[in-house]
Amino acid sequence: MPLNRTLAGKSSRRRFLQGAGATAAAVAATRFHAPAFVRAQEKVTLTWVSDLPSTEDIVKVFSEKYPNIEVQVERVTFREVFQQNQTRLGSGSDTPDIVSVDAPLVASYGSRGWLSPLDQAFTPEQLADIVPALVDSGKYNGSLLAPPIWNSSQLFYYNLDLLEAAGVTPPGPEERWTWDQVHEAAQKVTSGDVFGFQFEQYNRIYQLQPLPQGKGAKVIGDDGLTVEGIINSQEWVDAFQWFSDIHNKTKVAPQGNIDINELFVNQKLAMAIRGPWAIKTFMNANLPFRWRAAPNPYWGGDLPVTVPTDSWHVGVNVNSKHQAEAIQFVQWITSAEAGTFWYERGDNWPSQVSLLDKITKDPANADWPGKAYAIAAIESGHGVPRPLTVGYQEYEDILSTAFEDIRNGSDVKESLDNAARQIEREMQKYR
Amino acid sequence: MDIRQETSAQTQASTTAGLPVAGPRAEQRARSGWASLSRIGRHVAIYGVLIVIAILVLAPLEWVAASSFTTRETVWKHVLPFSWRAFLPDHFTLDGYRQIFEAGYGRTMANTFVLGTVTVVLSLTVGSLAGFTFARFEFRGKRFLWAVTLISFMVPYEATVIPAYTLVNDLGWINSWQALIVPAIANGTVIFLFRQFFAEIPQDLIDAGRVDGATWPRILAGIVLPLTRPVIITSAIIIFLSQWNSFFWPQLVAPDAKYRVVQVAVNILGVEQQTSYWDRLFAATTIAALVPLVLVIPLQRYYVSSIVSSGIKG
Amino acid sequence: MARSERWTPYLFLLPAMVLLLFWRLVPLAAGLRESFYGNALNLTTGREWVGLDNFRYLFDDPTFWKSIRVTFLFNAIVNPLQVALAVLLALVANQKVRGIAFFRTILLLPVAISINIATLAWGIALDTNYGLVNGILEAVGLERQPFLRSADQAMPTMVAIVSWIGVPFWMLFILAGLQSIPGDLIEAARIDGATRVKAFFGITLPLLRRVILFVLVADTVINFTLFAPPYLLTRGGPSQTTNLMMYDAWKRGFVYGDLGSSAAMVTILLGMLCLVLLFQFAFLRPKH
């Protein structure tokens, strides 16, 4: 490097060579905390493991603004994101630089020391624009590790034609049905190969947690580990007895592996809980029937209204060799600018307060089908993120099998007891 | 010379297949009318069993293939309620195929072909050298090294996947071609097949070469290898199929779409996406199943005889 | 020349041995070693020696014991069943009737197709809602069956799916064994008045003993470490009835991030497999 310095400035060709030399030196030096200004000159390539739609496009938008940073997307499937994170970050690998973190896994990744703290990178003003519950999900031990890039909300969709044909008066756009009303209506609609109702994610805690939460129950202990006496409490058993009944007793909800979109679009399913991402799908599909959306059902009376929320967050690999650039990227990808890009593509639901506000007030959303966006934005206000626990993978996986068993007709109490015992066991290692 | 024997037994079986029952016993029994009646009965029974088994084997494959040529809306039309038309495309279309190829299935197939071919070449080189050495050399530690080979090919592959993955990760080979190729090169079955084969080559042939002053590599390349067509074909099929059919390893070590191979693509269409794009899934499945069949059926003579001889002797 | 030739065999073996060592034996040893470590993925604490903790942890876990039971039950059914069916199928395929060569070619189809594809295709065919099999059942007036979604039917269904590939594959070996038995032997017995059944049990089966043992051992190795069907179809359910050990080990390692108990589980699995194989050799080896 000193040699390069002495040669500097003689000619443009020399200058070029010097630049190349400096780059090489900087690459070598980054291992030893090269100062940021040296690296600002060079072209840095960051890697990002992601399964999200339009990821390749949004990183191009970023590179137009920050020409010295290129982001290479390793496109994998949903299941593989977790597998890749686990094994690569766990072994201390320096890639991927950008880590996709499912909201409830922030704690798990944080406890294993996989992510760089980002508290310095975000000003209070920047954080103020992010939905507060999601900022909390992005923290572990009080330190911000992974801010949200996406968000989610849920809606109660129905096929207006099917409901009317069955003599059911559907809920209005502000009317919140109870789960029992849903069940009752579903029984009227179900006939032949037409089913009444189903959740899109019929075996995941994400979409099912309003059932017990709506009865005032918790989904995990305050220590983030205890589940015994919580997920097998009377509230849970009652809530999932309803879930069991719609599958096994009245059979208004289809069993087995099913594709809710396929069923709904083909008029084989009258009502469904789905995210706002369905709106664009429906609009593009030119459906031969009228569909509407309503607020999420609840258990009625004074009981609480909770709506699933949260989605993907991003963090910086603690062993990444390009900390500064990776942080720059995270700052941008979590901004309202990036959120708008994705929202306009119809891919995601934004995590920025300003954007949600805009959606609610957008005159284009005053009538159907845009109205569904406005309802989803209002429902976001009832959002309760998934449980914050270091053992989320275990928690979710074991509960999923329990939900499947319940769908297949296993005894509710027994299934939940079993799940509680198994989760408690797996949580032992974090105590 | 087991390989040859098996082959000739097979050819014999197929040439005599045209005659009803061979051998002196048949003639003996044919004299009595009762016997010929029971012979007919036996044939009816045999054909009955053959047809049932053939249906069990063919029906699901035929159904998948037929479903790949229809639209996603009509895939289930004749399944529930069932009619025999489920085994014919309802509205013939190549739409499923068009869609998967637009989504990069061609690239995926090319990936898998290249991967299979490269692995075959490397694996045959390494395997034939090792097999030849075990068959034709006496050297210190031979029994030990042979035992190592046997153990390493008896250890179930699944049991070593996780640590092997860690090794790939430590080497920084995640998302790379070498992660898919290198671990598959040394194949115990292939070494075994080559050893069996070389052990049966007459010593005279090799001695003649030695007398002429040829070096070992020359003997191997000039005299021995030209004789090995059957074992090379078998080994090549085994390795190519194992690469074409592998899904867990590639999904683990090279999940990036750039390195996607056929089985992973099918798995993604079928399981990960909970997709309603049945036409795509069936089209991808049909291709993934067809390629091995196209390879194995014309070469079944080699495939069956060698794979079996490794079992009979092992 | 002689001196350089002393090294020739080692040189020829070098690539194969290095690769086998690196990709088969080192991972095997690394897996055994991992069984005694914990916190492998935690960068804060780092990997630490935990002695037999992983094993204790497993022995204390009802899921683990259930998984062992399921694995043994599955193998106790699938291996004898596949061998028996393979022998029967070989007897059929060995009949010298018109068109038998074509039939043998048909039997090769499942052999060439990957377990991944076969599992997926059967998974769809057996689906509760769309399945072809349920369509046929309804068409002949029977009730729809839940198959993989029922705790009672999932395991037998999985046995059937695996056997669709396994039986024709192992049949190849037994058929070759049958064809290597001199026809005269059976002729002689038949002329002596032995019935077909007697000739089969008295002569054919004893002569097939060696190849049957091979098939049984190889089949056991494959089915003890079976992974794809639970991974693709059932995720170990319903009610853990298809939670085979290899799948459970994968889940512990890759989903729960607990590499130590995952490795311990594989170690136990391999240990059990060795015992079962020894048992098979001891009882089934030809006497001379």
pLDDT tens digits, one per residue of C14-32:
999 999 999 989 999 999 9
Mean of pLDDT values over A248-276: 91
Measured between CA atoms, the residue of chain A closest to residue B265 is A77
**C239/A421 touch (CB, cutoff 8 Å), yes or no:** no
Q: Is C95 on the interface with A (CB under 8 A)?
A: no
Instruction: Give the minimum alpha-carbon distance from B256 to chain A in angstroms, rounded to a whole number.
Output: 5
User: Can you tell me whether residue C212 is helix, strand or coil?
Assistant: helix
**A76/B274 touch (CB, cutoff 8 Å), yes or no:** no
Mutate to test the interface with C, among A193, A399, A426, A427 (most CBs of C within 10 A): A426
Amino acid making up residue A425: R
Proportion of chain A above pLDDT 70, given as a percent: 90
Mean of pLDDT values over A260-276: 92
**A112/C44 touch (CB, cutoff 8 Å), yes or no:** yes
pLDDT at A18 (0 to 100): 36
Q: Is B234 exposed, middle or buried (0-12, 13-18, 19+ CB in 10 A)?
A: buried
Residue A64 binned pLDDT confidence (cut-offs 50, 70, 90): very high
pLDDT at B7 (0 to 100): 35
**A77/B175 touch (CB, cutoff 8 Å), yes or no:** no
pLDDT at A381 (0 to 100): 87
Give every CB contact of residue A351 below 8 A, 6+ residues apart in sequence.
A130, A131, A134, A148, A149, A150, A151, A311, A334, A339
pLDDT at A229 (0 to 100): 95
Pick the range with the lowest mean pLDDT from A240-244, B122-126, B164-168.
B164-168
Report the complex ipTM: 0.85
The string of DSSP codes covering A334-385 is TSHHHHHHHHHTTS-B--BHHHHHHHHH-GGGSSTTTHHHHHHHHHHTTEEP
Proportion of chain B above pLDDT 70, given as a percent: 83
pLDDT at A31 (0 to 100): 37
Out of C89, C101, C135, the one facing B79 most closely (by C-beta) is C135
The rounded mean pLDDT for chain B is 80
Contacts within 8 Å (CB) and 24+ apart, C138-147: C138/B80, C138/B81, C138/B82, C139/B81, C139/B82, C139/B83, C146/A255, C146/A256, C146/A408
pLDDT at A2 (0 to 100): 34
User: Can you tell me whether residue B303 is helix, strand or coil?
Assistant: helix
pLDDT in tens, B101-110: 988 899 999 9
CA-CA distance, A107 to A93, in Å (whole number)?
20
Q: Is C160 on the interface with B (CB under 8 A)?
A: no
Residues in C closer than 8 angstroms to B39, CB to CB, are none
Residue B272 binned pLDDT confidence (cut-offs 50, 70, 90): low
pTM of the model: 0.86
pLDDT at B312 (0 to 100): 55
CA-CA distance, A153 to C155, in Å (whole number)?
38
Proportion of chain C above pLDDT 90, given as a percent: 45
**B166/A80 touch (CB, cutoff 8 Å), yes or no:** no
Straight-line distance from the first to the last Cα atom of chain B, in angstroms, rounded to the nearest whole number = 15
User: Which DSSP helix (H) or strand (E) runs through A37?
Assistant: helix A36-41
User: Which DSSP helix (H) or strand (E) runs through A73?
Assistant: strand A69-75
pLDDT in tens, C135-146: 899 889 888 888
**B126/C115 touch (CB, cutoff 8 Å), yes or no:** no
CA-CA distance, B249 to B255, in Å (whole number)?
10
A307 pairs with which residues across the strands? A383
- In the 8-state DSSP scheme, what is residue C264? H
Q: What are phi and psi of C235, to 5 degrees?
A: 50, 35
Listed as ranges, residues in chain C with pLDDT below 50 are 1-2
pLDDT above 60 (res A192): yes
**B60/C132 touch (CB, cutoff 8 Å), yes or no:** yes
pLDDT at C201 (0 to 100): 84
pLDDT in tens, C60-109: 999 999 999 999 999 999 999 999 999 999 999 988 888 888 898 998 89
pLDDT at C18 (0 to 100): 94
Pick the range with the lowest mean pLDDT from A197-201, B57-61, B170-174, C245-249.
B170-174
Identify the top-confidence range among A369-373, B109-113, C147-151: B109-113
pLDDT above 90 (res B220): no
The rounded mean pLDDT for chain C is 88
pLDDT at B310 (0 to 100): 62
Which alpha helices (DSSP H) does B103-211 contain, by range? 105-136, 142-154, 157-170, 177-185, 188-199, 203-211
Q: Is B314 on the interface with C (CB under 8 A)?
A: yes
Out of A80, A88, A259, the one facing B169 most closely (by C-beta) is A88
Out of C27, C116, C132, the one facing B167 most closely (by C-beta) is C27
Residue B9 binned pLDDT confidence (cut-offs 50, 70, 90): very low
Mutate to test the interface with A, among B166, B169, B174 (most CBs of A within 10 A): B174
The dihedral built from the CA positions of residue B61, B62, B65 and B71, taken in this order, carries a sign that is: negative
Instruction: Give the minimum alpha-carbon distance from B180 to chain A in angstroms, rounded to a whole number.
Output: 16
User: Can you tell me whether residue A269 is helix, strand or coil?
Assistant: strand
